[in-house]
Chain A
Amino acid sequence: MKRRELLATSAAALGLAATLGSKARAQTPLKVGFVYIGPPGDFGWTYAHDQARLAAQEHFGDAVETFYVDNVPEGPDAERIMTQMALSGANMIFATSFGYGPSLNAVAQRFPNIAFEHATGYLQEAPNVSLYNARFYEGRAVIGTIAGRMTQTNKIGYIASFPIPEVIMGINAAYIHAKKVNPDITLSVVWAYSWFDPAQEAAAAEALIEQGCDILMQHTDSTAPLSVAQQRGALAFGQASDMTQFAPDVHLTAIIDNWAPYYIKRIQEKLDGTWVADNVWSGIPEDEVTFAPFNDRIPAEVQDEANALIESIRDGSYHPFTGPLNRQDGSAWLAEGEVADDGTLLGMNFYVEGITGDIPN
């Protein structure tokens, strides 16, 4: 329904813009469109982007008009929606899912005056395409540390979405840091093959708990695994936003995606006419990756350890992927003290040594 309404209003706006001409357009606010993969009410990925959109809207007031289209599938639909946004007068478009890449670049080539911002993307085929991403693996390193300290059964469950570098990076970061504080842990990964399917995610959580995992991490967007963990008494971490309310007893903390500073900065640049395409990857130091308040169940010394890790990442003295690290097959990846470069991380398609199981193709 929302999409239809949007199409109707955009069509009206288009007609209006055409009749009023360029004079009126100069006074109109900067229009910023957002393309979402899921619903803003998922309390996960899309929710985090929408909170940032609202923060930007509040920051700029009447100078900026934001709007969004939700539940946009990756593929031809995305191209259609972005074209529609461009035709309806958007000056800037934020597309917030990995798979929008080809569509976004195709649309960007046709509308060179519109600033395109692609979250977690890698394709930059036009001068008006900018990429932005967050170093979620820094957050995964922190929750991995907490998980390694808190597990009783030494089994950690991980609900993954799709086998793409972003997700594999997160699994590796969590595993490395859990293993570092607790050499006995094993990590069970379940691929849900969906970013958002509450029933499937709940079933995955059940299966992991059945297998003896007493602590769950997720790289899917719904709060269903938290609900299951709460019911079954397993510990869990929220994803993308503070999910405490879904599992007040067992929600230890959450990696929070804080896009607001970036959105406000980029929209300001567009307003000032200083916007240029960029490729940024921010994390804990820029407060793009933050954490929900730690649950009291986490012992003070573990909280201190986690906070120390956060601070060391913040001041740049520590990188979560620091050697010596081997690949799963035992071959050397990083030598002692060597730090992974961004290119390798963004193309990561292997597990580190110690993780069992295969990455699906």
Chain B
Amino acid sequence: MDFGSINPVVLIASLMVAATPILLAAIGELVVEKAGVLNLGVEGMMIVGAVAGFAAAVTTGSPILGMLAAIIAGAAVSLIFALLTQVLMANQVASGLALTLFGLGFSALLGQSYVGIVPPRTEKLDFGPLSDLPVVGRILFGHDILVYVSLFVVAGVWYWLNYTRGGRVLRAVGENHDSAHALGYKVKRVRILAILFGGACAGLGGAYLSLVRVPQWTEGMTAGAGWIALALVVFASWKPWRVLAGAYLFGGIMVLQLNLQAAGYRIPVEYLAMSPYIITILVLVVMSSNRTRRTLAAPGSLGRSFHAAG
């Protein structure tokens, strides 16, 4: 394929960067949903992670500490959701939406004194001569640490869900919580831990936006990335590697259409620009129908509250 003046190597490298925030958030949400919990608060957890990571990085001068703070903040916010849905048995959809509204407002409040500050720079990892290799150097060895962390998390989640006892217990809880409970598994404990993991990943994804991708703090800066991450999980039919593919596809469409425009190609911009959102809506519509949900292999207990009976 002829890209003309667009360098495909640069394009691939930048789509990986563009996709990393939604990839991190989506892989976290995948684990949550595999445990049978639907947390619509991804956007809220992301933006709290974005502001917490930014604040910590600016205060300490270390992007790594900022990312750790984002992980903790994301998990802490998700704990509210865990408390509401797992302990107080609140409706998951409503609680998740509330979490998003809360996160957007709370982050705006926290971030007031951080507007207009430039964060410490997140350096690219130094692979020595490997980074200078043609093509693969820029694509494989030219990124900051979080791009590799996100790939590692995807691989880790895939392995853990499929090949470890803990992962299988989590899936059992998500498929049929009554049976899992009857077998003696702690349904709520598993779910709370999954929710915390989801929050941590979303927080980290948010911090990637505020520390690397943009890099600055602005109110509402996630601008819907959390919703795309949610749709991505369904789009990927709850399979980790497909989440990776989906995230890179979404990231790719976005970066590609911008690059095509910049290079002066005549493309139907409006359709390309809206395509991730259209796919998102379609996927959410499909997900809302029970029959298609089954064919998509959604976890059996997804979104249902668990009441221990007897």
Binding site for B on A (CB under 8 A): 1-2, 4, 38-43, 71, 157, 188-194, 196-200, 202-204, 206-208, 210-211, 213, 222-224, 227, 230-231, 245-246, 356-358, 360-361
Are B101's CB and A200's CB within 8 A? no
Residue from B209, B214, B274 having most chain A Cβ neighbours under 10 A: B214
Interface 9-mer from B127-135, B151-159, B251-259, B296-304? B251-259
Given contacts A1-B102, A360-B269, contact A198 B5 (CB under 8 A): no
Residues in A neighbouring B263, C-beta threshold 8 A: 188, 211
B109: A residues at CB distance < 8 A: 1
Taking CB atoms and an 8 Å cut-off, the chain B residues in 191-250 that contact chain A are 209, 213-216, 218-221, 223-225
* 8 A/B residue pairs, CB under 8 Å, sorted by A: A1-B104, A190-B262, A196-B220, A199-B214, A202-B213, A203-B255, A207-B262, A358-B266
Contact A199 to B219, CB < 8 A, known contacts A191-B269, A207-B262: no
A176 to B255, CA, bound (A): 29
A198 contacts B261, C-beta separation under 8 Å: no
The one of B10, B115, B259, B274 that contacts A193, using a Cβ cutoff of 8 Å: B274
Q: Contacts A42-B218, A200-B223, A358-B266: A4 and B101 contacting too (C-beta < 8 A)? A: yes
Q: Which of B249-292 contact A (CB under 8 A)?
A: 254-255, 258-259, 261-264, 266, 268-270, 273-274
The chain A residue sitting closest to B265, CB to CB, is: A357
CA distance A199 to B18 in the complex (A): 8
Q: Is the CB of A357 within 8 A of B264?
A: yes
Q: How far is the CB of B4 from chain A (nearest CB, A)?
A: 10
Q: Are A41 and B112 in contact, with the CB atoms below 8 A?
A: yes
A230 to B216, CA, bound (A): 12
Interface size class of chain B, counting residues whose CB lies under 8 Å from the partner chain: 35 or more
Does B164 reach chain A (CB closer than 8 Å)?
no
Q: B62 near A: Cβ within 8 Å?
A: no
Q: Return chain B residues, CB-CB under 8 Å to A189.
A: 261
**Which chain A positions have C-beta within 8 A of B219?**
39-42
B305 within 8 A of A: no
- Are B7 and A198 in contact (CB-based, < 8 A)? no
Q: How far does the alpha carbon of A40 sit from the alpha carbon of B273 in the complex, in Å?
A: 26
Nearest chain A residue, comparing its CB with the CB of B112: A41
Partner of A41 from the list B108, B209, B268 (CB cut-off 8 Å) is: B108
User: Which one of A41, A188, A357 has the highest number of Cβ atoms from chain B below 10 Å of its Cβ?
Assistant: A41
Given contacts A199-B209, A211-B263, contact A360 B268 (CB under 8 A): yes
Q: Do B21 and A199 touch across chains, with their CB atoms under 8 A apart?
A: yes
Residues on B with beta carbons closer than 8 Å to the beta carbon of A188: 261-264
Q: How far is the CB of B204 from chain A (nearest CB, A)?
A: 15
Q: Decide if B116 is an interface residue (CB 8 Å cutoff).
A: yes
A2 to B274, CA, bound (A): 28
Contact of B259 among A43, A194, A207, A222 (CB under 8 A): A207
Interface centre among A42, A210, A222, A227 (most CB of B within 10 A): A210
Contacting A224 at CB < 8 Å: which of B14, B115, B216, B259? B216
Inside 8 A of A210's CB, which chain B residues have their CB?
6-7, 10, 14, 259, 262
Pairwise interchain contact A206-B5, C-beta atoms closer than 8 A = no
CA distance A230 to B119 in the complex (A): 12
By Cβ-Cβ distance, the 4 closest A-B pairs, closest first, are A1-B105, A39-B219, A193-B273, A207-B262
Determine if B118 is an interface residue (Cβ-Cβ < 8 Å): yes
- The distance in angstroms between the C-alpha atoms of A230 and B269, with both chains bound, is 27
Partner of A38, one of B115, B220, B254, B273: B220
Q: Which of B1-33 contact A (CB under 8 A)?
A: 5-7, 10, 14, 18, 21
Given A39-B219, A191-B261, A2 and B105 contact (CB-CB distance below 8 Å) = yes
- By the criterion CB–CB under 8 Å, are A207 and B5 in contact? no
When distances are taken between beta carbons in the complex, the residues of chain B under 8 Å from A192 are 258, 273
Q: Mark B85-123, 1 if CB is under 8 A from A, else 0.
A: 000000000000000011011101101100110100100
Give the distance to chain A from B110, nearest Cβ to Cβ, in Å. Answer: 12
Give A188 to B7 CA distance when docked, in angstroms. 17
Q: Quick check: A196 and B214 within 8 Å, CB to CB?
A: no
Contact B221 A190, beta carbon cutoff 8 Å: no
Known: A1-B101, A191-B269, A206-B14. A199 touches B261 (CB 8 A): no
- B210 closest partner in A (C-beta): A198
Given known contacts A191-B273, A207-B261, A198 and B116 CB-to-CB distance under 8 angstroms: no
Bound Cα distance A188, B263 (Å) = 7
Measured in the bound complex, the distance between the Cα atoms of B91 and A202 in whole Å is: 37
A204 neighbours in B (Cβ, 8 Å): 258, 261-262
Q: Is the CB of A41 within 8 A of B216?
A: no
Q: With both chains docked as a complex, state the minimum distance between the C-beta of A209 and any C-beta of chain B, in angstroms.
A: 9
Question: How far is A188 from B265 in the complex, measured between Cα atoms in Å?
Answer: 10
